[in-house]
């Protein structure tokens, strides 16, 4: 590992070498350049780079349910809650706690759906996820994830960028900065949205922060151009574009001959890459190429445009058979197959407070579960049947969990369409599957109310360290010098631990 002074020199060199065009004799310097060395040879910042440590996974698909699903309606069966249903919660739940909306002493709320054990591993899964229940033996459920942020935007930023404030690079940016991408014709870090809204943290969730903007997530859209400005202007066809680029390249080469600026060569290469992306991105994004049985596996329907996607309040238009998320899961597999390093899905609409129509546990959660259940199970099955699951890490979860108490700031009585829980930071469930992850296990346990962890607590830092470790990036050494600090995804302290207990 280079020391800081060298790192600084390296940033300084990087501006030159990462842009340095073909044929530049930088090979001898490569060992000095570390993470930035590989690109020196090609001029492409996304050129694949060797991992720092032996990797267990090559790529990541991260499914984020924005708003945060209730672990108590999906994964954590707590009979004790049933016994205390609608009684006031114990004072220990409230001491020193801050809540987003709960006021005074709230009441306990029982699991709202039926649970059963599934698979050989015998894990508890609720009736809302029947398809997921069938693949639970492929998955490691972590029941004790805790965060220190209790509002959506800061909590989403914290889990994805390592800081609850804005301005830090996303996990996907870190990973593509560290490893490059395996397909030079596609972005290395792709973001797909569903649920009708951008997640609360906004585009900063896939921003590159202080890393160069080469590593920012590229939002691929399922309506219009999949990547902004990808299509040629109307009337300017591909042949003519080719002809234009040829003229442009010849004039630019002449400029390079005179000016000697390597940036010019890089620019010529980037225009060629853009031209290739015009074909490769729509092709990768085209799920009509999939056979019917694969579409059915996910519940995908190509070309479907959901009314919820452009609504002011999409929640009231949610339908269980809306395939937008399923389409995105299938896209994620296609993109991974094409060598994209990090595919990030955000599905909005999981914030079930019970305070207004369209955000309740009893009415909305079942609809949201229908939208994702078949798709996530299909994704795991499909990856496995293609031999991709072993090298692809799949992560699923929200930004925090939900309280064992019902939310009470608007209503204190239980009423149909108004059943909800507030934000809960002490313990919630996420799951991981695929590359390097033990199959069919539950990790961590919570108390009888699902309030506090009682065994194997897991912090956001632990998760971040583990994810980086799995793809071959040493979470402690992998850093980027900026503003006087060696910045890391896991933050400045050493508290993040690699969770050996979930690694196969």
Partner 1 sequence: MKKRYRFKLLIVALVILSPLILVFSAVESAPEPVKYGRDVLPILANNCFACHGPDEKNRKAGLRLDIEEAAKAKRRSGVAVLPGQPEKSLILERITSSEPEMVMPPPATHKQVTPEQVAILRRWIAEGAPWGRHWSFEPVVRPTLAAGGRRQPIDVLVTAGLARKGLVLQPAASPPTLVRRLWLDLIGLPPAPEVADRFAANPTPEAWERMVDDLLARPQFGEHWARMWLDLARYADTKGYEKDVGRTIWPWRDWVVTVLNADMPLDRFTIEQLAGDLLPSPTEAQVIATAFHRNTMTNDEGGTDNEEFRVAAVKDRIDTTMQVWMGLTMGCAKCHTHKYDPISHREYYSFYSLFNQTEDADRYDDSPTMEMLTPAEKAERERLQARIGELNGRLKAFPEPPAEADGWRAGRVEAVTSRYGSKTEQQADGATLVSGPNPPEEIHVVTMVPAPGMIRAVRLELLTEALPDGQLAVGRQGNSNLTLSEVLIEALDGDLVRPVAIGRARADHAEEKWPVAAAIDGDEKTGWAIESHTHEPHTAIFDLATPLTVAAGQKLRVTLSQVRGDNSSPRRFRVTTSDQDPASLALPIIPGELRRLYDDLDAAYEAQKNFSEQIVRLPIMRELATDKRRETKIHVRGNFLDPGEAVTPGTPAAFHSLPAGAPANRLGVAQWLVDRENPLTPRVWANRVWARLFGVGIVETEEDFGAQGSAPTNQELLDWLAAEYRDGGWSLKRLIRAIVLSDTYRQSSVTTEALRETDPRNLLHSRGSRFRLGAEVVRDQALAVAGLISLKMGGPPVMPPQPAGLWRTTYNRKKWIDSTGEDRFRRGIYTYLKRTTPYPSMVTFDGGSGEVCQIRRLRTNTPLQALVTLNDPVFLEAAGGLARRMVQSSSRPAARAATGLRLALIRPLRPGEAAALVALQRDAERSFVTDPGKADELISSARVEVPAGTGRAAFAAWIVVANAILNLDEFLSRV
**Which residues 370-429 are close enough to bind partner 1 by CB under 8 A?**
409-411, 423
**Which residue, among 439, 459, 455, has the nearest Cα to 447 in the 3D structure?**
455
Select the residue interacting with partner 1 from 54, 95, 120, 260 (CB under 8 A): 260
Q: How many residues bind partner 1 (CB under 8 A)?
A: 99
Question: Least distance in Å: CB of 68 to partner 1?
Answer: 13
Pairing of β 139-146 and β 428-434: antiparallel
Residue 364 is a binding residue for partner 1 (CB under 8 A): no
Question: Least distance in Å: CB of 54 to partner 1?
Answer: 18
**Which residue, among 74, 122, 142, 82, has the nearest Cα to 448 in the 3D structure?**
82
Question: Least distance in Å: CB of 432 to partner 1?
Answer: 27
Q: Which is nearer to partner 1, 92 or 270 (CB)?
A: 270
Question: Least distance in Å: CB of 101 to partner 1?
Answer: 5
Select the residue interacting with partner 1 from 266, 327, 328, 459 (CB under 8 A): 266
* Segment contacting partner 1 by CB under 8 A, of 130-138, 239-247, 447-455, 465-473: 239-247
Q: Which is nearer to partner 1, 78 or 152 (CB)?
A: 152
Secondary structure of residue 431 in the 3-state scheme:
strand
Select the residue interacting with partner 1 from 37, 169, 188, 199 (CB under 8 A): 199
Distance of CA 196 to the CA centre of its chain: 17
Q: Which is nearer to partner 1, 315 or 333 (CB)?
A: 315
Secondary structure of residue 291 in the 3-state scheme:
coil
**Which residue, among 218, 239, 243, has the nearest Cα to 229 in the 3D structure?**
218
Select the residue interacting with partner 1 from 139, 277, 285, 345 (CB under 8 A): 277
Q: 8 Cβ partners below 8 Å, 6+ apart?
A: 481
Residue 1 is a binding residue for partner 1 (CB under 8 A): yes
Question: Least distance in Å: CB of 65 to partner 1?
Answer: 14
**Which residue, among 46, 48, 39, 47, has the nearest Cα to 20 in the 3D structure?**
39
Q: Which is nearer to partner 1, 131 or 197 (CB)?
A: 197
Residue 30 is a binding residue for partner 1 (CB under 8 A): no
Question: Least distance in Å: CB of 186 to partner 1?
Answer: 10
Question: Least distance in Å: CB of 43 to partner 1?
Answer: 9
The Cβ of residue 103 has, within 10 Å, a number of other Cβ atoms equal to 12
**Which residue, among 445, 345, 325, has the nearest Cα to 396 in the 3D structure?**
345
| Residue 65, H or E segment | strand 59-66
User: Would you say 156 and 205 are in contact if contact means Cβ atoms under 8 Å apart?
Assistant: yes
Question: Least distance in Å: CB of 95 to partner 1?
Answer: 13
- Positions of E strands within 223-330: none
Residue 104 is a binding residue for partner 1 (CB under 8 A): no
Select the residue interacting with partner 1 from 104, 224, 291, 387 (CB under 8 A): 224
The Cα–Cα gap between 8 and 2 comes to 10
Select the residue interacting with partner 1 from 51, 85, 271, 501 (CB under 8 A): 271
Helices 460-470 & 171-179 angle (0-180, nearest 10): 20
Interface residues for partner 1 in 153-182 (CB under 8 A)?
153-154, 165-167
User: Would you say 168 and 487 are in contact if contact means Cβ atoms under 8 Å apart?
Assistant: yes
The Cα–Cα gap between 497 and 24 comes to 41
Q: Which is nearer to partner 1, 261 or 455 (CB)?
A: 261
Q: Where are the alpha helices (DSSP H) in 338-455?
A: 364-385
Select the residue interacting with partner 1 from 137, 263, 283, 447 (CB under 8 A): 263
Residue 242 is a binding residue for partner 1 (CB under 8 A): no
The contact mask relative to partner 1 for 310-349 (x = CB under 8 A, - = no) is x-x-----------------------------------x-
Interface residues for partner 1 in 455-484 (CB under 8 A)?
477, 481, 483-484
User: Would you say 170 and 496 are in contact if contact means Cβ atoms under 8 Å apart?
Assistant: no
* Segment contacting partner 1 by CB under 8 A, of 253-261, 388-396, 437-445, 455-463: 253-261
The contact mask relative to partner 1 for 107-146 (x = CB under 8 A, - = no) is ----------------------------------------
The contact mask relative to partner 1 for 202-221 (x = CB under 8 A, - = no) is xxx--x----xxx---x--x
Question: Least distance in Å: CB of 242 to partner 1?
Answer: 11
Q: Which is nearer to partner 1, 12 or 292 (CB)?
A: 12
User: Would you say 152 and 134 are in contact if contact means Cβ atoms under 8 Å apart?
Assistant: no
User: Would you say 186 and 343 are in contact if contact means Cβ atoms under 8 Å apart?
Assistant: no
User: Would you say 414 and 362 are in contact if contact means Cβ atoms under 8 Å apart?
Assistant: no
Interface residues for partner 1 in 79-98 (CB under 8 A)?
98
| Residue 190, H or E segment | strand 189-194
Q: Which is nearer to partner 1, 6 or 80 (CB)?
A: 6
Q: Which is nearer to partner 1, 242 or 386 (CB)?
A: 242
Residue 22 is a binding residue for partner 1 (CB under 8 A): no
User: Would you say 222 and 345 are in contact if contact means Cβ atoms under 8 Å apart?
Assistant: no
Residue 61 is a binding residue for partner 1 (CB under 8 A): no
Rg (CA), the chain: 24
**Which residue, among 47, 18, 285, has the nearest Cα to 182 in the 3D structure?**
47
**Which residue, among 213, 152, 143, has the nearest Cα to 352 in the 3D structure?**
152
Facing residues of 393 across strands? Answer: 60, 434
């Amino acid at each position: 590992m280079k020391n800081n002074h060298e790192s600084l020199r390296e940033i300084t060199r990087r501006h030159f070498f990462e842009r340095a065009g073909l044929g530049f004799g930088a090979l001898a310097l490569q060992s000095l350049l570390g993470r930035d060395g590989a690109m020196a040879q090609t001029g492409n910042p996304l050129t694949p780079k060797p991992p720092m440590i032996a990797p267990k996974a090559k790529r990541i698909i991260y499914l984020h349910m924005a708003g945060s699903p209730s672990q108590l309606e999906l994964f954590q069966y707590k009979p004790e809650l049933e016994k205390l249903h609608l009684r006031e919660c114990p004072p220990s739940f409230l001491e020193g706690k801050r809540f987003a909306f709960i006021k005074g002493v709230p009441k306990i709320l029982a699991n709202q759906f039926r649970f059963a054990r599934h698979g050989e591993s015998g894990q508890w899964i609720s009736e809302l996820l029947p398809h997921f229940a069938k693949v639970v033996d492929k998955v490691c459920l972590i029941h004790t994830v805790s965060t220190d942020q209790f509002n959506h935007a800061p909590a989403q930023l914290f889990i994805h960028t390592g800081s609850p404030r804005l301005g830090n690079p996303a996990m996907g940016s870190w990973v593509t900065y560290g490893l490059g991408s395996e397909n030079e014709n596609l972005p290395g870090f792709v973001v797909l949205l569903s649920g009708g809204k951008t997640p609360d943290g906004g585009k900063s969730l896939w921003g590159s922060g202080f890393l160069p903007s080469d590593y920012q997530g590229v939002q691929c859209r399922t309506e219009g151009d999949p990547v902004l400005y990808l299509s040629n202007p109307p009337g300017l066809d591909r042949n003519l574009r080719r002809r234009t680029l040829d003229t442009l390249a010849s004039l630019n080469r002449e400029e390079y001959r005179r000016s000697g600026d390597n940036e010019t060569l890089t620019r010529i290469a980037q225009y060629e890459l853009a031209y290739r992306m015009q074909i490769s991105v729509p092709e990768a994004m085209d799920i009509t190429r999939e056979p019917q049985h694969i579409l059915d596996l996910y519940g995908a329907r190509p070309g479907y445009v959901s009314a919820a996607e452009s609504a002011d309040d999409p929640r009231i238009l949610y339908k269980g058979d809306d395939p937008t998320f399923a389409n995105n899961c299938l896209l994620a597999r296609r993109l991974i197959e094409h060598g994209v390093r990090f595919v990030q899905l955000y599905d909005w609409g999981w914030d079930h407070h019970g305070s207004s129509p369209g955000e309740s546990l009893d009415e909305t959660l079942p609809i949201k579960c229908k939208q994702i259940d078949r798709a996530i199970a299909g994704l795991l099955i499909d990856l496995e049947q293609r031999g991709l699951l072993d090298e692809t890490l799949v992560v699923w979860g929200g930004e925090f969990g939900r309280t064992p108490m019902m939310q009470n700031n608007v209503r204190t009585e239980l009423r149909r369409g108004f059943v909800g829980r507030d934000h809960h930071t002490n313990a919630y469930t996420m799951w991981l599957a695929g590359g390097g992850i033990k199959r069919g296990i539950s990790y961590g346990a919570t108390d009888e109310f699902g309030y506090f962890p009682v065994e194997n607590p897991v912090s956001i830092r632990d998760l971040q360290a583990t994810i980086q470790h799995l793809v071959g990036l040493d979470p402690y050494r992998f850093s980027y010098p900026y503003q006087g600090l060696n910045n890391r995804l896991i933050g400045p302290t050493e508290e993040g631990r690699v969770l050996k207990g979930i690694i196969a």
